[in-house]
Amino acid sequence: MKFIYIKSSLSAALLFLIITGIILIRANGNAYISANNISNTNAEPILIIDAGHGGADGGAVAKDGTKESIINLSIALKLESLSKLFGVNPIMTRISEELDYPSDANSIALKKRWDQNRRLELINSFQNATLISIHQNKYPDSRPSGPQVLYAPNDESKALGELTHNMLNDTLCSHNRRVASPIDDNIYLINKAKCPAILVECGFISNESELSLLLNENYQKQIASVIFSSYISYINQ
């Protein structure tokens, strides 16, 4: 006789998240990660959450004017809250849409360059870190939909990338035929990060029905849950 009936793979993912989270919290005892430390000296695992774009760089823009950067931040903040709930205190590369630029960054190109360098310096100041960058996809054709995870060119990033991609597909988008792939050489942050690094394209803002999902608070929470669950699974391997 079955006492628990898991009616969807999302329920299974959330159950897994809760169980692994409890195990992690117990295993770590009081040794929670402090976000106040700018660099960690005893190399405890650090989760770095990067909400892609922001400030002068809105990223891709949907037909209705929705900026990718706003969705990225909203999902990243949910991932942060969820991480804290499970005793993981992540480092955020940004926590607002506005960024304070130095006065000599007086063009959009200079602002972007300064911001990318700032993020990279922060990311590479930690030992034993894992970088998860949140983005949204856009395509000229409005039909493509579904998440895709891109990973830095090394085995650890590939392992996390494939795990996260497969879990996103299993829980949120079972019809998705895209696969986790190595990231293009020209994506600065992911290629220059010294730690395992993935970029999660959560979905296509060029697809009208997926855009409304990506703007939905509950769907954003589901994405954050799956990403966090993948991270926990990855660091406990």
Binding residues (CB under 5 A) for Zn ion: these are 52, 59, 135
Distance, CA of 98 to CA of 229 (rounded, Å) = 29
Contact predicate 130/46, CB 8 Å: yes
> Closest separation between CB of residue 22 and Zn ion, Å?
34
Per DSSP, the three-state class of 44 is: coil
> Closest separation between CB of residue 181 and Zn ion, Å?
15
Token readout for 122 is: 């922060």
Nearest residue to the partner Zn ion, using Cβ: 135
> Closest separation between CB of residue 60 and Zn ion, Å?
6
Q: Which residues pair with 182 in a beta bridge?
A: 151
> Closest separation between CB of residue 136 and Zn ion, Å?
6
* Cβ closest to Zn ion, residue 56 vs residue 88: 56
For residue 153, report the phi and psi dihedrals to the nearest 5 degrees. Answer: -75, 70
For residue 179, report the phi and psi dihedrals to the nearest 5 degrees. Answer: -120, 160
> Closest separation between CB of residue 205 and Zn ion, Å?
10
* Cβ closest to Zn ion, residue 135 vs residue 165: 135
- Residue 45 has a CB neighbour count (10 Å cut-off) of 19
**How far, CA to CA in Å, does 134 sit from each of 29, 40, 113, 191, 229?**
29, 23, 18, 15, 15
* Cβ closest to Zn ion, residue 52 vs residue 203: 52
The vertex-133 CA angle with 210 and 140, nearest 5°, equals: 40
* Cβ closest to Zn ion, residue 88 vs residue 200: 200
* Cβ closest to Zn ion, residue 52 vs residue 55: 52
